[in-house]
């Protein structure tokens, strides 16, 4: 796929690297609230993704300090993935109730200083079914005024590599057709499934223009580790539009037993990247 989108606000990599925001995907990994600071309060972390329950578990007396500690706070899935997936097949009255629930959650997030929230609709598969696509369009159009009212951004997770050959092109076209400014994507990158010489443009096309969060996902229990070669092509891919993140580590391990170790390793890697002088 040609890299044909316009290049804007290009800055030198020397100036770009220090601005990058790294952090921990506590929501996506299901990290217990009691372990938030152990895994996320690390030297080079300035961003965090939380479930509402994780955020609510922070004592009110510590909220201000928490928001000051992390420059970027994003929410994980507003509702459980199966509910968001199945609602597209539900009667329209149930979808209306769903919209009310999501709208209330977005207003609550706005009060907590959380800028983005995610809904797991399995977008690629939904767009293949005319009935589910129509439901998805209806729900998103009903949420659009709430997004504008609250100045929140709704993220749709997009898996990279895509499991559908034309999945990325379909999603890109869908976002253009929807024309909802505060509807963006969260890129869930699986670097260990990519070829050694992978090209971000071939994998993600022009989605960098629609991205507001990037997760580096991997199975830590299998011995997988993140190294600079997994990150740098993506960071350079985003540098062309001066997107500074967040770039979040998302290590999967049983009972999150390796979460702290992987968080520390990613923080160290983040420090190396932020101080590069290319």
Residue 78's φ and ψ, nearest 5 degrees, are: -65, -40
The candidate with the shortest Cα–Cα distance to 106, out of 92, 116, 121, 120, is 116
Q: Quick count: other Cβ atoms within 10 Å of Cβ 31? A: 24
Give the residue carrying structure tokens 């290319």.
278
CA–CA distance, 28 with 7 (Å, rounded to integer)? 31
- For CA atoms 57, 60, 61, 65, the dihedral sign is positive
For residue 45, the number of C-alpha atoms closer than 13 Å in the C-beta half-sphere is 27
Q: Which tokens is 79 given? A: 């509702």
**Tell me, what's the pLDDT at 223?**
92
For residue 242, the number of C-alpha atoms closer than 13 Å in the C-beta half-sphere is 8
CA–CA distance, 207 with 5 (Å, rounded to integer)? 10
CA–CA distance, 102 with 84 (Å, rounded to integer)? 10
The candidate with the shortest Cα–Cα distance to 251, out of 28, 22, 70, is 28
β-partners of residue 49 are 25, 74
Q: Which tokens is 50 given? A: 């939380």
CA–CA distance, 133 with 123 (Å, rounded to integer)? 9
**Tell me, what's the pLDDT at 66?**
82
**Tell me, what's the pLDDT at 244?**
95
- pLDDT, one tens digit for every residue, the chain (278 residues): 445 454 555 668 888 999 999 999 999 999 998 898 899 999 999 999 988 778 777 887 777 888 888 989 998 888 776 777 788 888 999 999 999 999 988 888 877 778 888 988 888 888 888 998 999 999 999 999 999 999 999 999 999 998 777 889 999 999 999 999 999 999 999 999 999 999 999 999 999 999 999 999 999 999 999 999 999 999 999 999 999 999 999 999 999 999 999 999 999 999 999 998 65
Given the DSSP bridges, would you call strands 72-77 and 116-118 parallel, antiparallel or unpaired?
parallel
CA–CA distance, 92 with 94 (Å, rounded to integer)? 5
**Tell me, what's the pLDDT at 2?**
47
The candidate with the shortest Cα–Cα distance to 152, out of 113, 116, 183, 108, is 116
**Tell me, what's the pLDDT at 206?**
92
Residue 22's φ and ψ, nearest 5 degrees, are: -115, 160
Q: Which domains does the chain have, with CATH numbers?
A: 13-274 (3.20.20.150)
**Tell me, what's the pLDDT at 17?**
93
């Amino acid at each position: 796929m040609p890299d044909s989108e316009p290049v804007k606000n290009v800055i030198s990599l020397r100036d770009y690297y220090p601005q990058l925001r790294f952090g921990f995907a506590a929501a996506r990994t299901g990290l217990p609230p009691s372990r938030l600071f152990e895994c996320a309060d690390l030297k080079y972390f300035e961003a965090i993704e939380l479930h509402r329950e994780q955020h609510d578990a922070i004592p009110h007396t510590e909220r201000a300090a928490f928001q000051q500690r992390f420059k970027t706070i994003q929410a994980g899935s507003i509702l459980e993935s199966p509910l968001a997936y199945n609602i597209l097949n539900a009667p329209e009255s149930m979808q209306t109730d769903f919209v009310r629930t999501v709208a209330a959650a977005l207003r609550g997030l706005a009060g907590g200083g959380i800028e983005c929230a995610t809904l797991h609709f399995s977008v690629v598969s939904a767009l293949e079914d005319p009935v589910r696509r129509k439901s998805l369009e209806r729900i998103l159009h009903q949420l659009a005024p709430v997004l504008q009212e609250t100045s929140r951004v709704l993220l749709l997770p997009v898996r990279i590599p895509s499991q559908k050959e034309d999945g990325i092109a379909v999603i890109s076209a869908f976002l253009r057709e929807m024309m909802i400014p505060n509807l963006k994507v969260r890129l869930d990158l699986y670097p260990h499934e990519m070829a050694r010489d992978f090209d971000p443009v071939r994998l993600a096309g022009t989605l960098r223009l629609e991205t507001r969060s990037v997760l580096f996902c991997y199975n830590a229990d299998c011995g997988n580790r993140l190294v600079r070669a997994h990150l740098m092509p993506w960071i350079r891919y985003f540098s062309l539009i001066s997107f500074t993140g967040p770039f979040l580590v998302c290590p999967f391990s049983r009972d999150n037993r390796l979460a702290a170790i992987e968080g520390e390793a990613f923080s160290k890697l983040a420090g190396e990247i932020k101080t590069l002088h290319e």
